[in-house]
């Protein structure tokens, strides 16, 4: 009950100058918590979307680039995924390097997510790059070190994830979590490469969900060096009880003495669709109670997430995943966006109210 009350008061007080605790004119007035947060957006689809000539509109209903819209809104960090040798330019080192340079020129910090794969890596799949498929474990381990060092040297990120949603390990089968020592060895090789190349880069270890005590206890017992616990949180796949998320933020950061961040989160503004690609979030059962799939519901959800990160003593921020992934391939595309109802732009490509979450 105490935690729920504290969360509620934090949400009400966030962004106000002062808040009286009672109607008594002599009551003590408590200032809201002030904290500099990482307010990030993962816009890894943007280079491809730009290539189609898609137009976005800012809060003034003027055509504008997504990076400029995010900057105006108060976003301060751009999160980018990197694939080893993808089949197209998307998320390649060349594309990410060019895009990261542009983002830096606009004043953003760079948060790099190393998938250690040629395509998506997540809890269900961690496929090794084709170039490493036949390598012995010794060669694989060295490849992780050399590759990580190379990309850090080229991209010079402010924050870097060693793996993406590595609940089950990375670089399967050798680096599967069941092969604990091999997994830890590969993870440490990535970490060491960052420490040797850019000592001031903050290293994140990323887990999808809130049931993560067992995972980070392994890292603790194996003396893995990292700086930030990074969690994904989506109500459909994780808990639908927000207080469980809050408890995880507190318990994980205390048990491991680490800063903690939500590396991925998002919420729908509608359960409708714009193209013929099936949406990942599209049913009422995917939602939280009291947070409808409306523009205001999306905004309220994100403000609550932000409030939690402010209230958590070691909470340092959040990243909104794919705010730009609209239905950019046309209304009849079956290979378009599975996320257009989760974007921060409506079906007419206009900024939604939830963009305000980046504002201080």
Average pLDDT over residues 80-107: 98
- Please state, rounded to an integer, the average pLDDT across all residues of the chain: 91
Confidence class of residue 34 from pLDDT cuts 50, 70 and 90?
low
Confidence class of residue 134 from pLDDT cuts 50, 70 and 90?
very high
- Strands (E) in the chain, as ranges, are 19-20, 29-30, 38-42, 56-57, 63-64, 77-82, 109-114, 159-162, 202-208, 228-233, 259-265, 315-321
Residue 81's SS3 state is: strand
What percentage of the chain reaches a pLDDT higher than 70? 91
Confidence class of residue 33 from pLDDT cuts 50, 70 and 90?
low
For the chain, the structural domain boundaries read 1-34, 35-358
Q: What secondary structure does DSSP assign to 151-172, as a single string?
A: HHHHH--SEEEESSS-TTBSSB
CA–CA dist 282, 24 (Å, integer): 47
For the chain, helix, strand, coil in percent to 5 are 35, 20, 45
CATH number of 35-358: 3.20.20.80
Phi-psi domain of 205 (left: phi exceeds 0; alpha: psi -120 through 50; beta: other): beta
Name the residues annotated as catalytic.
165, 264
pTM > 0.85: yes
Span of 118-132, 208-222, 269-283 with lowest mean pLDDT: 269-283
pLDDT at residue 14 tops 80: no
């Amino acid at each position: 009950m105490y935690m729920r009350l504290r969360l509620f008061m934090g949400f009400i007080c966030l962004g106000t100058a002062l808040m009286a605790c009672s109607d008594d004119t002599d009551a003590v007035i408590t200032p809201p918590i002030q904290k500099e947060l990482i307010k990030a957006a993962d816009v890894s689809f943007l280079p491809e979307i730009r290539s189609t000539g898609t137009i976005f509109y800012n809060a003034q209903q003027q055509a504008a680039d997504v990076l400029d819209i995010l900057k105006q809104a108060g976003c301060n960090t751009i999160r980018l995924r990197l694939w080893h040798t993808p089949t197209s330019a998307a998320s390649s080192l060349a594309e990410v390097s060019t895009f990261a340079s542009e983002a830096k020129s606009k004043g953003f910090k760079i948060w790099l997510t190393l998938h250690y794969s040629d395509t998506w890596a997540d809890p269900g799949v961690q496929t090794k790059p084709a170039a490493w498929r036949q390598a012995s474990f010794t060669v694989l381990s060295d490849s992780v070190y050399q590759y990580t060092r190379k990309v850090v040297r080229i991209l010079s990120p402010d924050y870097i994830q060693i793996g993406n949603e590595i609940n089950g390990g990375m670089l399967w089968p050798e680096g599967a979590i069941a092969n604990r020592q091999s997994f830890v060895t590969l993870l440490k090789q990535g970490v060491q490469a960052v420490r040797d190349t850019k000592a001031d880069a903050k290293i994140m270890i990323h887990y999808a969900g809130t049931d993560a005590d067992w995972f980070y206890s392994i890292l603790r017992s194996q003396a893995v060096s990292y700086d930030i616990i990074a969690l994904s949180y989506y109500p459909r796949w994780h808990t639908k009880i927000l207080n469980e998320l809050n408890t995880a933020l507190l318990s994980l950061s205390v048990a491991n003495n680490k800063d903690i961040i939500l590396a991925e989160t998002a919420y729908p503004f509608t359960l409708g669709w714009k193209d013929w690609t099936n949406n990942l979030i599209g049913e009422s059962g995917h939602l939280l109670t009291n947070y409808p799939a409306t523009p205001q519901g999306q905004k309220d959800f994100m403000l609550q997430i932000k409030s939690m990160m402010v209230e958590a003593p070691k909470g340092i921020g959040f990243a909104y995943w794919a705010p730009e992934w609209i239905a950019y391939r046309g209304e009849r595309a079956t290979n378009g966006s599975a996320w257009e109802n989760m974007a921060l732009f409506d079906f007419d490509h206009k900024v939604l109210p939830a963009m305000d979450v980046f504002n201080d």
